[in-house]
């Protein structure tokens, strides 16, 4: 298969984790006889620096012409602490999501058996967690009208949703539930917000089209609590843009590290794959950023393109790296010298030699003769 992949490394740890995912995709292409070409584009702070805009035309056009987009992360500490910045790196990502109409952000949260003791939560609470968040990505408070009064003393962001925006994310969420445990939890704040009441109305109208799926409801404050107390109760969480942002980051606690969570942002014409974590600027170029979220985002890309065997190989490589403790320090208590690149090397190696990897890797990278 010939594929043209746009790569937007972005800011902070984005470039280093994305480089590992690209390495893995190249190994997949070699092993399974595909031709993947990669076109790089600037976005975020690095784009502002060079082109004075967070989303240059050239980047948008690379993305529009690609079969899929791999995105890294966006934002820097300098912008984070400056509320007066006229331009913000994050605008690049938001404009891109909007321009490509990537309305469905899909964020799976699966607890790895090997990492149960890495979670801040009790093992028995975390074990067998397998949920997926369907986050609406191009509407709500992120994209509503923003106002700042002239004297700078009053500001507002409005949260608007249309029936159509709710409908088009609700259908894929229910379809996903049909293929899973057949349960959708709509998370909103319908006791307070008019926009949430519209969500309830529209979702209630659509639900009967999926009679095998059970629909239940949770207010966001309660959901934030339940996600930690009993994550196993969830199958598909359907929610609006900002609630989905917050809940998906919270879910990092369940699996042991936010550095494991991948996502797909899908529209009708375009598809982008991005880690749930952000740019985490303080860790830039220290070799400690976990590349697994980016690598698993690449696996979601392969799924999306119908390359199932390839996606499985990547996931098996990730599974093996976790099992053998070939992980960055956020997860590792066994070895202290495993860098972002080494994790990428291991998974790359696994893709080309799924049966021989352990020993090779052990000898070459850890300087030990056996592992486990």
Nearer to Mg ion (CB atom), residue 185 or residue 279: 279
Nearer to Mg ion (CB atom), residue 234 or residue 243: 243
Q: Distance from CA of residue 117 to its chain's centroid? A: 23
Site for ligand IPM in 91-110 (CB under 6 A): 93
Among 15, 54, 75, 92, binds ligand IPM (CB under 6 A): 75
Residue 275 contact among Mg ion, ligand IPM, none, beta carbon within 5 to 8 Å by kind: none
The window from 27-35, 102-110, 116-124, 239-247 that contacts Mg ion (CB under 5 A) reads 239-247
The site for ligand IPM, by CB under 6 A, has a size of 7
Nearer to Mg ion (CB atom), residue 11 or residue 245: 245
Nearer to ligand IPM (CB atom), residue 29 or residue 258: 258
Provide the minimum distance between the beta carbon of 221 and Mg ion in the complex, in angstroms, as a whole number: 18
The window from 21-29, 58-66, 137-145, 244-252 that contacts Mg ion (CB under 5 A) reads 244-252
Provide the minimum distance between the beta carbon of 78 and Mg ion in the complex, in angstroms, as a whole number: 19
Nearer to Mg ion (CB atom), residue 240 or residue 245: 245
Among 11, 165, 235, 245, binds Mg ion (CB under 5 A): 245
Provide the minimum distance between the beta carbon of 146 and ligand IPM in the complex, in angstroms, as a whole number: 14
Provide the minimum distance between the beta carbon of 324 and ligand IPM in the complex, in angstroms, as a whole number: 30
Residue 75 contact among Mg ion, ligand IPM, none, beta carbon within 5 to 8 Å by kind: ligand IPM
Provide the minimum distance between the beta carbon of 137 and ligand IPM in the complex, in angstroms, as a whole number: 7
Site for ligand IPM in 267-296 (CB under 6 A): 276, 278
Q: What does the binding site for ligand IPM look like in residue numbers (CB under 6 A)?
A: 74-75, 90, 93, 245, 276, 278
């Amino acid at each position: 298969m010939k594929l043209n992949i746009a790569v937007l490394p972005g800011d902070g740890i984005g470039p280093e984790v994305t480089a590992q995912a690209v390495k893995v995709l190249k190994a997949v292409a070699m092993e399974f006889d595909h031709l993947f070409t990669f076109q790089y584009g600037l976005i975020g702070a690095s784009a502002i620096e060079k082109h004075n805009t967070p989303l240059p035309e050239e980047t948008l056009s690379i993305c529009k012409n690609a079969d899929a987009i791999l995105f890294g992360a966006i934002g820097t500490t300098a912008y984070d602490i400056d509320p007066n910045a006229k331009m913000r790196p994050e605008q690049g990502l938001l404009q891109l999501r909007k321009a490509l109409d990537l309305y469905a952000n899909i964020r799976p949260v699966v607890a790895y058996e090997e990492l149960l003791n890495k979670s801040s939560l009790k093992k028995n609470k975390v074990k067998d967690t397998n949920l997926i968040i369907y986050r609406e990505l191009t509407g709500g408070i992120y994209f509503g009208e923003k106002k700042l009064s002239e004297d700078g003393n009053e500001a507002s962001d409005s949260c608007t949703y249309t029936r159509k925006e709710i409908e088009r994310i609700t259908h894929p969420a229910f379809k996903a539930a049909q293929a899973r445990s057949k349960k959708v939890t709509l998370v909103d704040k319908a006791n307070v917000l008019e926009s949430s009441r519209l969500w309830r109305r529209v979702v209630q109208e659509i639900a009967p089209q999926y009679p095998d799926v059970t629909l239940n409801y949770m207010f966001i404050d309660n959901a934030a609590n339940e996600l930690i107390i009993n994550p196993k109760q969830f199958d598909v969480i359907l929610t609006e843009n900002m609630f989905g942002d917050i809940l998906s980051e919270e879910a990092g606690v369940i699996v042991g590290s936010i550095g494991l969570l991948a996502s797909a942002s899908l529209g009708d014409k375009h598809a982008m794959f991005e880690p749930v974590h952000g740019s985490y600027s303080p860790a830039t170029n220290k070799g400690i950023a976990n590349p697994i979220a980016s690598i698993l985002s690449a696996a979601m890309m392969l799924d999306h393109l119908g390359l199932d065997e390839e996606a499985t190989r990547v996931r098996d490589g990730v599974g093996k790296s976790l099992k053998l403790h070939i992980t960055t320090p956020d997860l590792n208590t066994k070895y202290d010298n495993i860098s972002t690149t080494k994790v990428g090397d291991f998974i790359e190696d696994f893709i080309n030699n799924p049966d021989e990897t352990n020993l090779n890797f052990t000898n070459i990278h850890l300087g030990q003769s056996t592992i486990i």
